[in-house]
Structure 1
């Protein structure tokens, strides 16, 4: 270049200063946009460090937790905002290991001591070395929604209890008439009675499902451990479905190894087996096969219930244990069901320390693998 060296240095310096000013200006605009978004985001927004120091909160976050000002709230550690401080440890660990929380249900404590339920969505931000710098996320107050859900659950529980008594009476009287040894009912009347009995039985099963779900959600399931013979429970559950299996010409295969006895709640074990076997029956076409295998292992008892049924589409596997889930290929076939059975099974297994997993493919059937501990922890 023909430009003198001292002038070239001045020009370079001016360019550097101009670039620096433009960069500072861009950063200020970016920060202004971020703060505007942060303040106007729906729900409470925050930034905090892994050890609980609050770096930034918006006005909604302050109002949500009932504090006078941002400074008032930010003088607290995040652990102080939890109803149970151990929850902070649990969610903190999950955030660090997974990098994010999605719709996590937190129980927090407002400044006035009121307990609220919120949904948290959060993520971790890292430096260039991969170390966690801070968390950022949002909180949505769902306290009122939870209270409404609780009221609905309590209503369903009470209504189901009230309906159970008259339905049981109808069931008993119908059985008496069907078992009439005097022959006072003709063929047509017997046919009507059988239809009444079958319809009433479906209603009783539905009511039992509602009661089980209500008890799960209200947290009022009482566990009464005693010795449970799993082979006996399996045979009893199969006996109840025997006539239905025969009508569809379904082949039943049983395999029991060792003496599979555990200390658990017999009523819960019955509900689990009835639901799984009933599902296998409903979703297996005529002349199919259903097998149950019970094996004693070192840490507990394994149960395998397998069918040659319609199977579950792969893209719906993640929904299997959710309330009211029914696979699309089942809806098309108009198979009766509430979609509550597997939700009940998973919830009750969790309650007694059991585990469940499954394998399934369309037109190739489904296999459920259950593990039950020898004793409830």
Structure 2
């Protein structure tokens, strides 16, 4: 708090002093037989003004420690207790603030415990659900020749969808602990993405999609597991929003500044008003609200979040009815040092 603000808070005291001073002048003026009236009054008023100014300066200096403690409490968002009160008024305020701090700490602990319990439950659920999923897959493979091929492929695709949604939940729950679960090494991009492409083979066959994969390859510094997840989200979206007999092109382009992994389709595209929000958490957009292409709004959000944590740039280009182009850009680290 500044000295001017301090004086404004004590405006009533100043006004009271002025009123008392005027009363004193009036009473002295009524007293008969006083010599040098105005000289004496001027001296008294100046002396009073000096004394009250000194009083305010001393009081302000004494309260500065209190004001700083309150300002620090505001900046720290109720993280620390206040222990500098010296007057009864300050003690009252200090007691109230410290009570708020205690309640804040208690609520924060309860929230953290609740989040930990929720995360532990999610991790347990994810691992538990994988057991019946694997069992269903084994049963389906056992009866492969007892049901029509079309039904077998359809059931296999549905099981894979469930597995992908479970994986999405797993990565979502671990996204806050990314720093504890990554390993940066040099990987071949093709070796990372080819297993993902093969895992989606049934969808390509079912929708009669044409896949074009460039012959170029490149090595990048990244974490393979997280890139696999990101690429799977992008490829799943491309398959979902590309009509039957559509095309999906995957290219790897290397430049001096880094390597780009480009996934382009000729699907329904993204409306201009939605393009800037597709990476927002929970955003489904016009396309995602359609029944045949139901979207949760989590996949691209996770892909963008994890890409940022890996230092990879994920961008999107699209026009409604003209397809979509998703680009993962892996910067070459020494490029930035050369630029400097």
TM-score, length basis structure 1: 0.57
Unaligned runs of 5+ in 1: 1-69, 84-107, 114-141
The Cα shift of 1:371 comes to: 0.8
Pairing 1:186–2:169 present = no
Sort the Cα spacing of 1:245 and 1:78 in 2 relative to 1 into closer, same or farther, 3 A.
farther
Q: Which residue of 2 aligns with 1:112?
A: 81
- Cα distance in 1 for residues equivalent to 2:110 and 2:168: 21
8 A contact 1:167–1:204 mirrored in 2: no
Residue of 207, 219, 228 corresponding to 2:166: 207
Cα distance 1:79–1:320, how it changes in 2: closer, same or farther (>3 A)? farther
Higher relative helix content: 2
**Secondary structure at 1:334 match in 2:** helix
Match in the other structure for 1:310: 268
What is the Cα deviation at residue 152 of structure 1? 6.3
Q: Would you say the 8 A contact 1:150–1:218 is kept in 2?
A: no
Does the residue aligned with 1:224 lie in a helix, a strand or coil?
coil
Name the counterpart of 2:175.
216
Residue 286 of structure 1 aligns to a residue in which SS? Answer: coil
2:168 is equivalent to residue 169 of structure 1: no
Judged with a 3 Å threshold, the aligned counterparts in structure 2 of structure 1 residues 375 and 213 are, in CA distance, closer, same or farther, namely: farther
Higher strand share: 1
Deviation of 1:353 after TM superposition, in Å, equals 0.8
TM-score of the superposed pair, with normalisation by structure 2:
0.63
User: RMSD of the alignment, in Å?
Assistant: 3.7
Match of 1:128 in 2: none
- 1:99 is aligned to none
CA contact (8 A) 1:323 1:340 kept: yes
Aligned residue number for residue 157 of structure 1: 119
Change (3 A) 1:226 1:363: same
Structure 2 residue 224 is matched with structure 1 residue 262? no
What's the offset of the Cα at 1:149? 7.3
Figure out how many residues of one structure are paired with residues of the other and give that number.
254
C-alpha distance 149-307 of structure 1, shift in aligned 2 (>3 A): farther
SS in 2 for 1:179: helix
What pairs with 1:231-246 in structure 2 (closer than 5 Å)?
231-246=190-205
Instruction: Please list the CA deviations of residues 292-330 of structure 1 after superposition, one character each: whole Å capped at 9, or x if unmatched.
Output: 111122232111111111222211223211112111133
Alignment of 1:277-356 (within 5 A): 277-356=235-314
State whether structure 2 residue 231 is matched by structure 1 residue 273.
Answer: yes
Query: For 1:144 and 1:326, how far apart are their aligned partners in 2?
Result: 36
**Structure 2 vs 1, CA of residues 239 and 191 (structure 1 numbering), >3 Å: closer, same or farther?**
closer
Would you say the 8 A contact 2:126–2:170 is kept in 1? no
- C-alpha distance in structure 2 between counterparts of 1:149 and 1:310, whole Å: 42
Q: Rate the CA distance shift 1:79–1:280 in 2: closer, same or farther, 3 A.
A: farther
Unaligned runs of 5+ in 2: 1-62, 83-103
Q: Do the aligned partners of 1:303 and 1:371 also contact (CA within 8 Å) in 2?
A: yes
> Counterpart of 1:319 in 2: which secondary structure?
coil
CA displacement 1:221-249 (0-9 Å, x = unmatched):
52112221101222221111111011111
Deviations 1:242-264 (A, max 9, x none): 1101111111111243x411221
- Cα pair distance change 1:192/1:278, threshold 3 Å: closer
| Contact kept in structure 1, 2:184 and 2:223, CA below 8 Å | yes
Residue 154 to residue 335, structure 1, CA distance change in 2 (3 Å):
farther
- Decide which moves more: 195-204 or 222-231: 195-204
Write out aligned runs for 1:26-41 (5 A).
none
SS at match of 2:292: coil
User: Which residue of 1 is the match for residue 58 of structure 2?
Assistant: none
